[in-house]
Chain A
Amino acid sequence: MKSYHANEKGYYGEFGGAFIPEMLYPNCEELRQNYIRIMEEPSFKKEFDQLLKDYVGRPTPLYFAKRLSKKYGTKIYLKREDLCHTGAHKVNNTIGQILMAKKLGKNRIIAETGAGQHGVATATVCALMGIDCVVYMGEIDIARQAPNVARMKMLGAEVRPALSGSRTLKDATNEAIRDWINNPVDTHYIIGSVVGPHPYPDMVARFQSVISEEIKWQLKEKEGRENPDYVVACVGGGSNAAGAYYHYLNTPEVGIIAVEAAGKGVNSGESAATSALGKVGIIHGSKTLLMQTQDGQITEPYSISAGLDYPGVGPMHAHLFKSGRGEFISITDDEAMTAGLEISQLEGIIPAIETSHAFAIFNHKKFKEDDVIVINLSGRGDKDLQTYIDYFKL
């Protein structure tokens, strides 16, 4: 059977691998040799599950969205990752990785963040474990995302501005990687999505796979079947999507829909729709689809949602796209904002703008009346209130 999971070298089809400088090799190798073994240790599993339950608040509900379903004439369920502690799915991964770091004997954590969601989720677990935390964040994002910067500081993390390049997420990632090169022994780098060199994409996907694991039994309870007709998720780097698809990847009867940010329009020059605009290339140690100039320089993406504003996409998603296993839809800023307002007023849930993109697919794709669709509601909109306020002049 065709597998859409990573092979032992970290490749999803032609994508993935570890294109890293020799200086990083020992770090990645240490992780690669240990991550699966550690994740399968009963003591690790027990602590991970316990924290997800008591601290994060899992399982998150699978909620039948009655009014939304009625409006679009199909059956829509929402997987409520927005109800996780810290407000998004990101914390599933940071809980897993902080436990991994402890098992590996690390006493310092670094992370990159764009909008600050992953930074907050990392600062949170570091506070929980009493471990030093440095979060790299582009200077421009620090100015744009002041509340999350304050949250990280309040949680005891040091926020270091990335001053190089375009001073956004990709530069914060470069800085975090440089830090790791310089502190290879005591430091663990908690990457925030299914990106980066092997084994990160696979490790992060496994930590996020709790999402589809829960969807399976929850849907069984509600619909009498484990498999929906479609799973829908927004894709920045692709971690919430990887988690929502994970247990369905090799089940062809479950349709996979990936929603990317088209920004001001796929062909506007201000977009983050990597599948439409990207070419095969190397970013942050991974061979994947990425937005770049003809000359191979990585370009700056644009999206109204900082969490989707990444010039690449995880190698799993590049493979889902290239192989045709996944259907990719790009949604503009305007469509996403409208959908965010709609879901707020239909279901009483204000989503993160990243997630709003996933809610905008109904004007692009028609579903059958008895289709069962699960949308991964990756995060709540609190962090985006100012953007909503400015956009709708609330």
Chain B
Amino acid sequence: MMEDKKLLSIYFTAGYPALDDTVKIIQDLEKNGVDMIEIGLPFSDPLADGPTIQKSSTAALKNGMTTEILFEQLKDIRKSVSIPLIIMGYFNPMLQYGVEAFCKKCQEIGIDGLIIPDLPVDVYHEEYQAIFEKYGLINVFLITPRLRKNVFGLSIAFRTDSSIWSVRPVLPGLNSVLVMSNKTIFNALLHFRSRTLKLLASVSVIPKRSIKPPRAPKVLLSVRPLLNI
């Protein structure tokens, strides 16, 4: 059942190159065999991203992209697209929209999860996890070459009943990890330590909630220009 097929996840910035390209890009990506899409909600100061995403984000904002407009564009996306959709954005726009309102909207649209690089694990756990869960959204964390040990400890503590991406064979009890990185970090990860290597080698992603089996990714390696190293 856990076949080791590599899946392709693609990131793009919503509102770029043109404001209304969002839906077409998503549909084209799915048509061309992409397994999962990260829809980038542009932010003025994307400090976990490199110059490429900074540029596309600046351009998208200039084009007039807003949280409201993105949700409007995505309103009917589930009529034509069935692969997992993740919104990747920074915490401040979400905070201003209202975290609960944001999550609710995501659920209505059929968004599967969120990647918010500047929402740290502990804050998520203490303040927002309940909201994410209420709306069936997965929260995706980043793994880095200098992975902190206790991320896993923490993960085990609070993700067991809520999660999405399952890494069961490697770390018992931990069942939500998504590995995302650019090539350099990815390579560093491979060489990093045997534990990580093992983790990567046997990442098997098993859907739990919103992602139905037909579009469930098996092995997920999200490659995006996280940083220009």
Q: How many A-B pairs with Cβ below 8 Å? A: 101
Give the Cβ gap from B138 to chain A, nearest Cβ, in Å.
16
Main secondary structure of the interface of B (DSSP, over half): loop
- CB contact under 8 A between A279 and B45, given known A22-B143, A29-B148, A164-B58: no
Residue of B nearest to A285 (CB): B118
Q: Contact check: which of B54, B55, B96, B143 meets A281 at CB < 8 Å?
A: B96
Cross-chain contact B123 with A19 (CB below 8 angstroms): yes
Q: How far is the CB of A278 from chain B (nearest CB, A)?
A: 12
* Chain A residues bordering chain B, tally (CB within 8 A): 35
Size bracket, chain B contacts: 35 or more
Whether, in the assembled complex, A277 has its beta carbon less than 8 Å from a beta carbon of chain B, the answer is no
8 Å CB contacts to B: which residues of A8-40?
A: 17-23, 25-26, 29
Are the CB atoms of B92 and A296 closer together than 8 Å? yes
User: Contact between B43 and A297 (Cβ–Cβ < 8 Å)?
Assistant: yes
B151 adjacent to A281 (CB under 8 Å): no
B144: interface (CB < 8 Å) = yes
| B47:A165 contact, CB within 8 angstroms | no
Query: Which A residues fall within an 8 A CB radius of B?
Result: 17-23, 25-26, 29, 163-165, 170-171, 174, 177-178, 181-182, 184, 279-285, 292, 294-299
Q: Indicate if B66 sits at the interface (CB-CB under 8 A).
A: yes
- Other A-B contacts than A281-B95, A282-B90, A284-B47, 10 sampled, CB-CB below 8 A, are A19-B118, A21-B47, A22-B142, A29-B148, A164-B51, A282-B92, A292-B96, A295-B93, A295-B97, A297-B44
Asked if B117 CB lies within 8 Å of chain A CBs, one says yes
Contact assessment for B148 and A26 in the assembled complex, using a CB-CB cutoff below 8 Å:
yes
In the complex with contacts A283-B92, A296-B94, A298-B45, A182-B120 CB distance below 8 A: no
Give the distance to chain B from A170, nearest Cβ to Cβ, in Å: 6
In the bound complex, how far is the Cα of B47 from the Cα of A297, in angstroms? 13
Partner of A296, one of B97, B144, B148: B97
Known contacts A21-B48, A164-B55, A282-B91; is A184 also within 8 Å of B146 by CB? yes
CA distance A292 to B92 in the complex (A): 9
- Residues of chain B from 78 to 100 with CB closer than 8 A to chain A in the complex: 90-97
Q: A21-B118, A184-B146, A297-B44 are in contact. Are A165 and B92 (CB under 8 A)?
A: no
- Tell me if B68 is interfacial: C-beta within 8 Å of chain A: yes
Q: A19-B118, A22-B142, A22-B143 are in contact. Are A296 and B48 (CB under 8 A)?
A: no
Residues of B within 8 A of A282 (CB): 90-92, 95, 118
Q: Would you give 17 A-B contacts (Cβ < 8 Å), ordered by A?
A: A19-B119, A22-B121, A22-B151, A23-B117, A23-B142, A23-B144, A25-B144, A26-B146, A165-B45, A170-B45, A174-B47, A174-B54, A177-B47, A182-B229, A282-B90, A284-B47, A285-B118
- Bound CA span A174–B55, Å: 13
CA distance A296 to B90 in the complex (A): 10
B89-132, CB < 8 A from A: 90-97, 117-121, 123
Q: Is the CB of A298 within 8 A of B44?
A: yes
CB-defined contacts of B97 to chain A, threshold 8 Å: 295-296
Which 10 pairs, one residue from A and one from B, show the smallest C-beta to C-beta distance? A296-B96, A296-B93, A21-B48, A21-B117, A297-B44, A22-B142, A296-B92, A164-B54, A26-B146, A282-B92
Residue of B with least CB distance to A181: B227
